[in-house]
Structures are given as C-alpha cells and as structure tokens.
Amino acid sequence: MPPGVLPKGARGRILTAALRLFADLGYGGTSVRDICASAEVQATTLYVHFPSKEDVLAEIIRLGHEELLRRLREALLAAQPDPREQLVALVRAHVLSHCEHAMLAVVASAELHALSEATAAPIRVVSAQAERLALDVVERGITLQLFNCPEPALALRAISSMGQRAAYWFAPGCGKTPQQVADTFADFALRIVGAQNKN
Amino acid sequence: MPPGVLPKGARGRILTAALRLFADLGYGGTSVRDICASAEVQATTLYVHFPSKEDVLAEIIRLGHEELLRRLREALLAAQPDPREQLVALVRAHVLSHCEHAMLAVVASAELHALSEATAAPIRVVSAQAERLALDVVERGITLQLFNCPEPALALRAISSMGQRAAYWFAPGCGKTPQQVADTFADFALRIVGAQNKN
DNA sequence: GTCTATAGATAGATAGAC
DNA sequence: GTCTATCTATCTATAGAC
C-alpha cells in the first residue's frame, strides 16, 4: 500500500490483509473470515468498519486508481515541456507504480468487474482522467511532428499494457530493478510512437 | 471457443457456459448451479462429466493455452525465415488469437491462479513453450544484427503484454478490426526490437 | 470496539430412483 | 444420462451482551 493513505488501527489492517488475499485468491475466493483472521481481528469486526465485503474491495480499488493518477500528474508536472520527455515521465511513473505496488495494481484492475456498476462508475472516471493525460501528450507530440504514429489510440493501449502487465510478472529478485524496467519501457514507448531523436 | 475442440452434447455446452460465466463473474463468483442453468442441463449433470468445478476450469484453461500455442506454431511454420517476418507472424497470430477468443484468453490467464499447483503445472509447460518460440526468434534476430534490442527479455514481455491486454479491451464494434490491431501491434513489435528496415 | 451466537442463504458435491 | 432430494460445509451479515 502506498504510504500515507492507510488508516491506522483495525481499518488499516483489514485493508492490508484484504489486499493481499484478494491478490492471491481473488475477490470471490476470499472470505470475510479469511480477511479478519489475517488482519488479526475478530471475524465480525470487519462490519464495524465497512458495510460489506464489497465496500472493502471498492476502497482498495479506489485507492489504487487514485494513487496511480496522483503519480502520473506529479510526473507530468515535473517534466520538461517536450512531449518526448513528458511521455518518458508518464511511462516511468506508470511502470514504477505498477512494480512498486504490484498487488494493488493487480486487484484494482482484475477485480473491478466484481463491483456493482454504481460503485465502479466514479472509479472509471479516475481511470479515464489518467488516460486523458497520456492521450494529450501523444496528440501534442504528433501535432508538433515529433512523433510518427499513425494509430495513437492503439499506441496508448500498447504502452499502458506493458506497464499494467508488469504488475503480474515483476517481483523483487526477478533480475531487474523497477528503475531498469521503467527506463526500458519508456524507451519502448518512444519507439512505439516513432519519436524523433532529440539531436 | 475455437472450432473443433469442443465436445458435442452436454459436456460441450457446460464448457461453453462455464467460459462465459467465468469471464463475466470470475471463477470464484460463479456457482455450479449457474453453469448448469446456463448450459440448460440439470444442476447435478456437471458432475456426470467432470469430477469437480475446478476440473471444468482446468479444461478451459488447457484448451486456451493449447489453442494459442497451436496458432503460434502454425504462424511460425508459414513465415519466411527472416526474423522480422517471423516476429510479425508470431505477433499477428498472438493478437488475433486474443481478439477472436477474448473470453478464453481472459479466463486462461486471469484464473490460472485458481488451479491447484499440480493441475497448473502441465499448463505452465505449454505456456513456456509458447514463450520459447518468440524468444528464439528475437535472439536470432539479434545474432543476425537485424534487431537492435539491448533487453530482449523485457522486449518480449512488452510485446506479449500488448496482445494479452487486447483480450480485455477489444470488442467487435470498438472501431478496429482484429486484423488492424494485429497489423499495428506487429509494427509496434518491430519498433520495440529495433528492427532494421528491409530495404 | 470486541466477543459469542446465530440467522438465512447458498456453496460444492453425493445418493439413488428412473 | 437425467431427475429429486439432500448432506455438509461455508458464506455474508446481524443481534445483543459486555
């Protein structure tokens, strides 16, 4: 879990335990009893802090998507105005977030379908804002003739796919550091959009 | 479901219904009763054809991975010996398979963790064979100095990620045909590995 | 907030008549 | 192979004493 967003006490322990179990066994494969046992609270204490098991999942997924959007915004703000640098900054932040908070990213994307449509709707808004950030950068790069990319929408799908899947295969000790993966995938993103060399 | 692999009669209907439900609700979110109702058989008929719900999932996942491997092998055999053509053929087959059998691909990858390790092991072997095909092509391209690719393992991760994720977002009527996606992603793959122009 | 007890529904799986 | 009936376990969620 990203630092600072986790409530203290039983509520925070429940979220942490639920995240780990949802990532391992899936939402449907995890019981409220499992979560409470892992959080070391009584089997019914979850209902003191959340109305239902689904609300626990919703909170985790919301935290996941908001954390990603926050990091993408931060990266874009700190980048030089050159679309190439902006794309590199976005991809690096995207990949790092997925490697460093792999379980959160997995649950946030794989279990979104388990939420009711009403619960998922505001989360989809956050997710759409993140896509918008990247689309604006790519379109500006094309307009400035710095990118040679006939299918920008598919290019974005491809680039975000690389980062999303990293949450599944990346593990500390897999032979790469998150920074190496982020740097390499940022280079791949530049190749995909057909970025001109800087010099 | 790919043609020709589906048994006739109740067993085939059960597999078809289970695939749709696993894709929509997840393995843990689907009950045996749901499957039988959707397959229009009695609630206990599933146990005539399968020892357990997990065996239904295992069969679906096995079919999914074997179908993908079959298509990749076929594509590679039909390709010119130039690593660039081979990579294009593999990526096209990979993307087409994931677009045309999206539910199968989603279930085969997302629910693999729901299988016991003993059941998953032979399926992982099939999956490893598919990776091997692609790795051999990329390494040969590097050896022949047709590819400029300092991180071949990460390049393969990136390329397979594009195709895998396509199963999630692609839908008939999304504005692209499977062929368009396949052609575009094959081009992205060439860009990622830094393929030299042919002329 | 934490405990025991338990409601009410549903899960996977089985038995046996036909 | 199909049906009815059902076993046993487990699920989410609630009630109420402390």
Using a 10 angstrom Cβ sphere, with 0-12 exposed, 13-18 middle and 19 or more buried, the burial of residue B4 is exposed
Contacts for B32-41: CB closer than 8 Å, 24+ residues apart: B39/B10, B39/B13, B39/B14, B40/B13, B41/B10, B41/B13, B41/B14
Q: Does the beta-carbon distance from A26 to B25 stay under 8 Å?
A: no
| Confidence category of residue B74, pLDDT binned at 50, 70, 90 | very high
Note the pLDDT of residue B12.
94
- CA A48, CA A106: separation in Å to the nearest integer? 27
Res B73 pLDDT > 80: yes
Note the pLDDT of residue B80.
98
* CB-nearest partner of A158 from B24, B114, B188: B188
Note the pLDDT of residue A8.
83
Note the pLDDT of residue A3.
80
Note the pLDDT of residue A6.
87
Specify if B38 maps to a domain.
no
The residue with tokens 């790795």 is B135
Note the pLDDT of residue B69.
98
Specify if A33 maps to a domain.
no
Res B199 pLDDT > 80: no
The predicted-structure confidence for B29-66, as pLDDT tens digits, reads as follows 999 999 999 999 998 999 999 999 999 999 999 999 99
- CA B33, CA B17: separation in Å to the nearest integer? 11
Domain with residue A160: its CATH number is 1.10.357.10
3-class secondary structure per residue, chain A: CCCCCCCCHHHHHHHHHHHHHHHHHCCCCCCHHHHHHHHCCCCCCHHHHCCCHHHHHHHHHHHHHHHHHHHHHHHHHHCCCCHHHHHHHHHHHHHHHHHHCHHHHHHHHHCHHHCCHHHHHHHHHHHHHHHHHHHHHHHHHHHCCCECCCCHHHHHHHHHHHHHHHHHHCCCCCCCCHHHHHHHHHHHHHHHCCECCCC
Specify if B27 maps to a domain.
no
Dihedral over Cα of A169, A171, A174, A177: its sign:
positive
**B47 Cβ nearer than 7 Å to chain C strand:** yes
The predicted-structure confidence for A82-94, as pLDDT tens digits, reads as follows 999 999 999 999 9
Burial A145-165 (b: 16+ CB within 10 A, else e): ebbebebbbbbbbbbbbbbbb
| Confidence category of residue A9, pLDDT binned at 50, 70, 90 | confident
3-state secondary structure of B195: strand
Note the pLDDT of residue A198.
84
- CA A50, CA A36: separation in Å to the nearest integer? 12
- What's the rounded mean pLDDT across residues B159-179? 97
Structure tokens belonging to residue B35: 């499957």
Specify if B71 maps to a domain.
yes
- What's the rounded mean pLDDT across residues A133-152? 98
Which amino acid appears at position A53 of this protein? K
Is residue A96 within 8 A of residue A179, CB to CB? The reply is yes
* CB-nearest partner of B29 from A28, A151, A154: A28
Specify if A122 maps to a domain.
yes
Cα–Cα distances in Å, from A8 out to A13, A14, A50? 8, 10, 15
**A114 Cβ nearer than 7 Å to chain D strand:** no
Specify if A61 maps to a domain.
yes
Query: Residue A46 CB: number of other CB atoms within 10 A?
Result: 24
- CA A41, CA B156: separation in Å to the nearest integer? 44
- CA A176, CA A134: separation in Å to the nearest integer? 25
The predicted-structure confidence for A42-53, as pLDDT tens digits, reads as follows 989 999 999 999
- What's the rounded mean pLDDT across residues B149-155? 97
3-state secondary structure of B147: strand
The predicted-structure confidence for A151-186, as pLDDT tens digits, reads as follows 999 999 999 999 999 999 999 999 999 999 999 999
3-state secondary structure of B163: helix
Res A145 pLDDT > 90: yes
Mutate to test the interface with B, among A27, A95, A179, A191 (most CBs of B within 10 A): A191
Q: How would DSSP label each residue in B5-53?
A: -SPSHHHHHHHHHHHHHHHHH-STT--HHHHHHHHTS-TTTHHHH-SSH
Instruction: Specify the number of domains making up chain A.
Output: 1
Give the nearest nucleotide to B30, CA to C1'. Answer: C11
Range of the domain at A96: 52-193
Specify if B8 maps to a domain.
no
B164–chain A Cβ distance below 8 A for any pair: yes
The predicted-structure confidence for B94-124, as pLDDT tens digits, reads as follows 999 999 999 999 999 999 999 999 999 999 9
Note the pLDDT of residue B5.
85
Is residue A114 within 8 A of residue B26, CB to CB? The reply is yes
Structure tokens belonging to residue A58: 């919703």
Specify if B6 maps to a domain.
no
The predicted-structure confidence for A86-137, as pLDDT tens digits, reads as follows 999 999 999 999 999 999 999 999 999 999 999 999 999 999 999 999 999 9
Note the pLDDT of residue B104.
98
Q: Does the beta-carbon distance from B154 to A176 stay under 8 Å?
A: yes
